[in-house]
Amino acid sequence: MSLLRLLLLVLFTLAPTLALAYDVLLLQSMHDKGYDEAVRGFKRDYRGSVRRIVLTDYAELDLTRITREEHPKLIIAVGDRALELAQKQHAAPVLYMMALNAKPRRSAVGVSMLLDPAKYLSVLEELGCDRVGVLYDPARSGAYVKRALALAARTRVRLVLREVHAAKETPAMLASLKGKVDALWMLPDATAVSPVSTEAYFLFSQAERVPVITFAEVYLSMGGAVALTIDRNDIGRQLAELAQNVLDGNQPEDGGDPPRRMVMRTNEGVVRQLRLNPLVGR
C-alpha cells in the first residue's frame, strides 16, 4: 500500500472523531428567544470550540454516550431541563445559565437568573417605600429571601413576608397585607406568582395605592411601577468568562453568581399617579 493511500485511509478513519473535536458541549433545553440570546452572548466572548445540542430536536438523547465518546471538557447547560440532564452525567464539569426552577447540585456553578436583592432594595429606597410586602414559597425562594432580609437590615426597608405553599393561597396572603405595606415586591417565584394569581397583585396595588416592583417588563402593562430585568446577552458573556476560567484550570466557588447587569424599565404613569419619588440617574 502506498504512503498516500495509507494516509488517506487514516484520515478517513479519523474523520468523524476530528469533526467532533470540541471543548464545550452547549446543551440547550429548547428553542427559545431568551435562551438564544444568552447563547449568542456566550458565543460572542468564548473563543473556543463549541458543539450545540437543542434537546427538543431529539426524541431521545444519550448524553452519557456523547460525553464518553466525544470527551467535551465542559458542558454548558442552558435552561432547567438541560441542567437536570447534564447533572446526571459525571464525565465533564457543568456550568449553567437561564435555569430558574431546576435545583443545581451543591457543586454546580453558573450564572443565576435572580438579580442581587440589593438592586431591588436600592430602588425601593429611592422610591421612598419603607414597608415592602413579599410573597414567596420557602421551597423555591427561601435562600433568596433570607439574603434579602440580611441586606434589608442595613437599609430603611422593612420586608413584610408572607409564605405561600400553593398558587391558590396568593390572594389571601395579599389580603393579609392590607394597610401594612407601602409596596409589593414581586419575586420570580412560580408558586407566589402564577397565571392564576398574577391579577391579584395589581388589584391589590390599585385598591391600596401601592406600587408593584417586579422582575419582568410584561407586568408594567398590567399596572406595575418598576421592572428590574436581566440582560440575557450579558448573562451569556458572563458565563463565557466563567467557562474560560474553568478551562484554564481555575476552580470557581460553588453556587450561582447573580447577573452582573440589570435593565430597569418604569411605568411613568403609575409612578406619577402614586406620587413616588422619581428614579434619578438610572
Highest mean pLDDT among 54-63, 94-103, 247-256 belongs to: 54-63
Strand order in the sheet with 109-111: 50-54, 24-28, 74-78, 94-97, 109-111, 255-257
pLDDT digits (tens, 9 = 90+) for 259-275: 999 999 999 999 899 98
pLDDT digits (tens, 9 = 90+) for 199-243: 999 999 999 999 999 999 999 999 999 999 999 999 999 999 999
The answer, yes or no, to whether residue 142 has pLDDT greater than 70, is: yes
Q: Are 158 and 152 in contact (CB under 8 A)?
A: yes
pLDDT (average), residues 115-139 = 95
pLDDT digits (tens, 9 = 90+) for 153-187: 999 999 999 999 999 999 999 999 999 999 999 99
pLDDT (average), residues 246-257 = 82
> Looking at the chain, which runs of residues are DSSP E strands?
24-28, 50-54, 74-78, 94-97, 109-111, 131-136, 158-163, 183-185, 212-214, 226-230, 255-257, 262-266
pLDDT band at 192; cut points 50, 70, 90? very high
Residues in the chain: 282
pTM above 0.75, yes or no: yes
Residue 106's pLDDT is 62
> Looking at 128-174, which runs of residues are DSSP E strands?
131-136, 158-163
The answer, yes or no, to whether residue 80 has pLDDT greater than 60, is: yes
103: left (phi over 0), alpha (psi -120 to 50) or beta: beta
Residue 11's pLDDT is 45
Residues sharing a CB contact under 8 Å with residue 96, sequence separation 6 or more, in sequence order: 76, 77, 78, 82, 83, 86, 102, 104, 108, 109, 110, 111, 256
pLDDT digits (tens, 9 = 90+) for 89-119: 888 899 999 998 777 776 678 999 999 999 9
Residue 2's pLDDT is 62
The answer, yes or no, to whether residue 18 has pLDDT greater than 60, is: no
Residue 146's pLDDT is 96
Residue 277's pLDDT is 77
Residue 279's pLDDT is 74
pLDDT band at 251; cut points 50, 70, 90? confident
Q: Are 237 and 41 in contact (CB under 8 A)?
A: yes
Rounded-to-integer distance, Cα 164 and Cα 209, Å: 23
Nearest one of 61, 46, 53 to 30, comparing CA atoms:
53
pLDDT-wise least confident of 114-118, 242-246, 276-280: 276-280
Average pLDDT, the chain: 89
Rounded-to-integer distance, Cα 269 and Cα 267, Å: 5
Q: Which CB contacts under 8 angstroms, 24+ apart, belong to 249-258?
A: 252/109, 253/109, 254/106, 254/107, 254/108, 254/109, 255/108, 255/109, 256/96, 256/104, 256/108, 256/109, 256/110, 256/111, 256/112, 256/114, 257/110, 257/111, 257/112, 258/111, 258/112, 258/114, 258/115, 258/116
